[in-house]
Amino acid sequence: MTYDPAEALKLDNQLCFPLYAAARKVTGLYAPYLKELGLTYTQYIVLLVLWERDGLSLGEIGERLSLDSGTLTPLCKKLETAGLITRRRSEQDERSVRITLT
């Protein structure tokens, strides 16, 4: 058997694609239930992280979920507006905001 680079580079021959497709399918299974709650999947997993360990900083949540602050900041503002979380400045470090479930 000879190695064909063009064949190796086809989407169906990449490990990343079936993993991506499977993740999207699993996430999609949550959608109807989360829609009833008015949540996106990303909002849901942020709430799960806080349920496991409340009072995390935005950076700690981002590290846990591999999300950047550009994604998390507006997401947390929406969760705060919905009354699901509170954001408070840390007593130990004014630069840090701690996020807690309500």
62-93 pLDDT, tens digit per residue, is 999 999 999 999 999 999 999 999 999 877 88
Domain ranges of the chain: 5-101
Domain range 5-101, CATH architecture: Orthogonal Bundle (1.10)
> In the predicted model, what is the mean pLDDT of the chain?
93
pLDDT of residue 1 exceeding 80? no
pLDDT of residue 49 exceeding 80? yes
pLDDT of residue 3 exceeding 90? no
pLDDT at 2: 87
pTM: 0.82
- 20's CB contacts (< 8 A; 6+ apart) are none
